[in-house]
Structure 1
């Protein structure tokens, strides 16, 4: 991505229409054009007029969210932290299912539930006590942490700092459910892509219980693939492959 395009995307991101935060649905309409300016202008049009310029897209949430509900193994009433809750219904859904949810994001979360507590701010600096949490869910979040396009304070190692925080706040034997872009390792203005080695570094201190990989097929489908096939997939500009992880903190952990 050229410097001028990167600057344009940042400007358009912060100058987008001031509307309430929306849910990032797994199946949604998206502008057909890849260029930032047409995408922004069409996004400002009334829905009926913009429809000819839109196409149906299926994001990685179509496999990530079912993975969470299929693999979350802590009992109802457990304390679950959702890292990066905005634009997702996951915190609300978990709260409605009976989990005690701590939803963390740098942006305001406009919804509430008796089982839901919102913590606004940097996750790494959040006031969550060590060994106080039964499970942590981080769906398509770590790859964004510390990147300047989100006006975040951070560094290239912000994702590793977040993982260190997760290890600290989880009780011994606590569960982590993590999803990240996977394939040819790299970084765009908006997200990181994790290769085999980078993913292993994220998961240091965890015993992996389940690891799955899914590849985007066209605009409207995802399919499970083997890791050796996932490693060669490029996600330059948008996520084309994801790793879905369920892991547990070793019960013998002391630090």
Structure 2
């Protein structure tokens, strides 16, 4: 109903105003509405920056979390087309993403540890499986997408996401098993898109940051025919294109353990590595 939509838009606007007036603190009221990922994924100029690996303008997505990098990077690199795609971890199971130019004509299977349901009105289906031993056929997917998921594999998911005690783990090297499985289910010539927080190494119990050694192990285990890595870093003036050396000294901000923001008001990862590997 038009009236209901109008009221919802008014509430959304008020939440954004509250976010802006109260200091633009990450994860506060209005944060998600202000982030406006739907708009970013429709912006051809923004997608062009990521497609060409251009420098981002000063102020880009200041005080926002790494999804403002990961999602447009993925949409830009995927391109438009029809294919069978595995969402390893469930980061794509959102209506605004599934209706984006890159995903709306792809058939997608979402694989997570939880009993997740596909977003209503979309072309996605869901399976519950552990990425380290997924019950999926060999060489079936054209693409696999794994957004900020490998950093959680083998670690304690009851701290933040799940209540099932089976997932109270401490096996930080198990991400390599997930990489092997993702390689197995890809067709020859298929593409794996991975993002991980790339920072000074730290194991937070429920997730870990990746460093040069762990990033290299992804490539070693996958053994790609081709491999590209792009790095982005968050600073006080916003997100910017960076390199591995600059990112390696950054630290993670964990909102689950503290509300004391740093001077840069980082929302989560202060740097991220975006990888494209081809079988």
SS of 1:137's partner is strand
Q: Is the 8 A contact 1:181 1:194 kept in 2?
A: yes
1:67 to 63, 69, 73: 73
**What are the residue-to-residue correspondences of 1:233-252 with 2, within 5 Å?**
233-235=250-252, 237=254, 238-249=268-279
What is residue 177 of structure 1 aligned with on the other side?
Answer: 193
SS of 2:241's partner is strand
1:122 to 111, 122, 130: 130
Provide the C-alpha distance between the structure 1 equivalents of 2:107 and 2:123, rounded to a whole number of angstroms. 5
> What are the ranges of 5 or more consecutive residues in structure 1 without an aligned counterpart?
1-26, 49-55, 250-255
Q: TM-score, normalised by structure 2?
A: 0.63
Provide the C-alpha distance between the structure 1 equivalents of 2:91 and 2:245, rounded to a whole number of angstroms. 33
Q: How many residues align?
A: 204
Q: TM-score, normalised by structure 1?
A: 0.69
**What are the residue-to-residue correspondences of 1:113-152 with 2, within 5 Å?**
113=121, 115-150=123-158, 151=165, 152=167
What displacement does 1:190 show?
Answer: 2.7
RMSD between superposed Cα atoms in Å: 3.3
Q: Is the 8 A contact 1:188 1:236 kept in 2?
A: no
Q: Is the 8 A contact 2:198 2:247 kept in 1?
A: yes
What displacement does 1:100 show?
Answer: 1.0
SS of 1:214's partner is strand
More strand by share: 1
| 1:135-188 Cα deviation digits (max 9, x unpaired) | 110111110112114352652222111101001111111101100011212211
- Higher RCO, 1 vs 2 (CA within 8 Å, ≥6 residues apart): 2
1:225 has 2:242 as partner = yes
